[in-house]
Structure 1
Amino acid sequence: MTDREEALAEFMRAGRESSRLSVLFRHALAAKLGLTVTDMECLDFLMDTGSATAGQLAEQTNLTTGAITSMIRRLEQAGYVTSGRDPADRRRVVVTPVPERLDDGRALFASFGQRVGRLVDEYSTAELRLLARHYDRMSEIYRAEIVSRDS
């Protein structure tokens, strides 16, 4: 096996392990919050966007409109989001996170965030840009794979 083949095998192994542990970590945190992982991922998306329509959430999560309606209901009942009709288009529902309630989730992520902060302090700016580019490209691959499986 060449050095490159060995490096590639190690990269692939490390990526699988990181992905697997990320899934397990997210399941553990979601359970502590009384949510499903999909509910938590929806909240994460809303934290990035500030608010979104039910259709945007369906597109982001790859769920049916019925499943999104159920998720929004669960998140509203748990106090994590509010929803209402879009004033510009009454057919659409806009979902908005409740900032005070999101602090519960942030508290669960605090030690993780501190550890990641210490880790990335070891990286140069160029290395951080490389990692960000890698994550962005991996996201493109995931999205393409999700779409191709829906076809």
Structure 2
Amino acid sequence: MSDEPARASAIADLMRAGREMSRLSMVFRYAIAERLGLTVSDLECLDHLADTGPATAGQIAERTNLTTGAVTSMLRRLQQAGYVSAERDPTDRRRVIVTLRPERVADLERPYERFAQRTAQLIEDYTAEEIRLLARHYERMQAMYHEELDHLRDSDTPPRSA
């Protein structure tokens, strides 16, 4: 007897759970951004800087999928709000290096504290092997998202009108 129906059902459950997790993650991000008086793009930019360190405006545009003009406006807002500093690259004056201001990191982390504590409790009973499986899954999903974003950016197909 084949295990195919059970596997197909498990895959459908996984896909459904992934879509719901993605949706809830987005709703959560919007709520956090609103609480901080930011847009979701602002928050994505700040998260990127927190994860990777200083970045150019072009790198931020790529990460957030915004135009360079939109990134320029966003960076102006974030500078005025005191979240980032932006300095000309000394080796290439055409580029701007954006840095998250360390004194603002706690402000950005505070809304996530409860979620981080609950996540730690959630995985408390997971084995190291189970956690590594989840980490591999997330890493593979991230790689796939990057590939799909590149494909969408490079595609000759124009966006569909609503």
TM-score (norm 1): 0.95
Equivalences for 1:25-40 in 2 at 5 Å? 25-40=28-43
Deviation of 1:102 (Å):
2.0
| Pick aligned residue for 1:71 from 71, 74, 85 | 74
Q: Partners of 1:133 and 1:31 in 2: how far apart?
A: 31
| Pick aligned residue for 1:48 from 37, 45, 51 | 51
Q: Partners of 2:53 and 2:66 in 1: how far apart?
A: 20
Confirm or deny that 1:62 pairs with 2:58: no
Q: Partners of 1:48 and 1:117 in 2: how far apart?
A: 19
After TM superposition, where is structure 1 displaced by more than 2 Å over at least 4 residues in a row? none
Root-mean-square deviation over aligned CA pairs: 1.1
Unmatched segments (≥5 aa) in structure 2: 156-162
Q: Partners of 1:100 and 1:119 in 2: how far apart?
A: 30
Amino acid at match of 1:30: A
Q: Partners of 2:88 and 2:81 in 1: how far apart?
A: 20
Deviation of 1:59 (Å):
1.6
* Alignment size in residue pairs: 151
- Which residue does the alignment assign to 1:142? 145
Query: Identity percentage over the alignment?
Result: 58
Higher radius of gyration, 1 or 2: 2
Confirm or deny that 1:104 pairs with 2:125: no
Tell me, what secondary structure is at the counterpart of 1:82? strand
Q: Partners of 1:19 and 1:142 in 2: how far apart?
A: 12
Q: Partners of 2:15 and 2:84 in 1: how far apart?
A: 37
Amino acid at match of 1:133: R
Tell me, what secondary structure is at the counterpart of 1:136? helix
- Which residue does the alignment assign to 2:26? 23
Deviation of 1:120 (Å):
1.7
- Which residue does the alignment assign to 1:131? 134
Q: Partners of 1:49 and 1:146 in 2: how far apart?
A: 19
Deviation of 1:117 (Å):
0.8
- Which residue does the alignment assign to 1:3? 6
Deviation of 1:144 (Å):
1.6
